[in-house]
Amino acid sequence: MISAKNLTRNYGSFTAVDNVSFTIGDGEIVGLLGHNGAGKTTIMKMLTGFLEPTGGSVTINGCDIETGRSRAQAHVGYLPENCPLYLEMTVAGFLDYAAELKGIANGEKADAIKEAIAATGLQDKIMAPISSLSRGYRQRVGVAQAILHNPKIVILDEPTNGLDPSQIKHMRALIKRLAQNATVMLSTHILQEVAAVCGRVIIIDRGKVALDKALSELGGGSRLLLVTDGTPDVTGPILSALNAVSRIDTLSSDGKATTYGLSLNGQPADEAAARIARAINNAGLSLFALHTETRDLETIFAEITAGARAQEVAHA
């Protein structure tokens, strides 16, 4: 449904998006995750045809966006960041205007507006001025205009930005409903949004794709975590004597216990754990914990973006 190849966008000497490539299939919910300024909005603007790339290409449902921009955009519903609306209009008036811009035939317009209002829960706000709506309802109006033409692809830029917890809950439910009939891509810098609604995450770090994986593939780690009262000078030789351990990383210490990350030498984790536990006990040390490392989305995101934060501090 969406294909980006070597997508690049320069602003003078600054590269906002750097050689980004990915493909999103039919029915996926994909989160585009990254710190503010990572390049997420620039990528979305290029995917939707509102910004020309410096290099690379975008294909939307088989249509090259450079040579067939109008045909490609006809497949896309887009909610830009900050949800630009005409505040003096009523909800019904704005959606009627948006339907005109999208080229929806007069005979189909009423049904399209009715379906969009029902999908976004705006029935009680049809005749209300947009200026009178809360931030959450304004976001719903923005989504309603995005889905008026029943697009195959829905692209949402920071859809929960500025919403309160109740409004976020409603927006998450709405995104899941949209995904029943469309491919959905949303950008955010909030980890919980990706974990709550997405099946796949693409992490952007300083304009590059740093990770592209299904959320279901992120949980497992390749190391064992050992917590013991043995200090590194004592524990290190004990573990090094085991063929099961190829590398020992000292992760933290509170004075009473030290946590080690143990990379394994190809041996199954359960077998290695049994040997390590015996060795620690035989040495007379206390074994407080020994388990497989779990790396969740928060841990992975922190690892990936650590370089960006260090760079920001260096230039501060």
Question: Is domain 220-294 in CATH 1.10.10.10, yes or no?
Answer: no
Q: What is the pTM of this model?
A: 0.78
Closest C-alpha among 191, 213, 202 to residue 17: 202
291: tokens are 């388990």
Topology, domain 2-217: Rossmann fold (3.40.50)
2-217 and 220-294 share one fold: no
Kindly list the domain boundaries of the chain, sorted by start residue: 2-217, 220-294
What separation in angstroms does the CA of 115 have from each of 77, 104, 196?
15, 13, 25
Handedness of CA 24, 188, 41, 209 (dihedral sign): negative
Tens place of pLDDT per residue across the chain (316 aa): 899 999 999 999 999 999 999 999 998 999 999 998 999 999 999 999 999 999 999 999 999 999 999 999 999 999 998 888 999 999 999 999 999 999 999 999 999 999 999 999 999 999 999 999 999 999 999 999 999 999 999 999 999 888 889 889 988 999 998 999 899 999 998 888 899 999 999 999 999 999 999 988 886 667 899 999 999 999 999 999 988 899 999 988 988 999 999 999 888 888 999 999 999 999 999 999 999 887 788 888 887 887 555 455 445 5
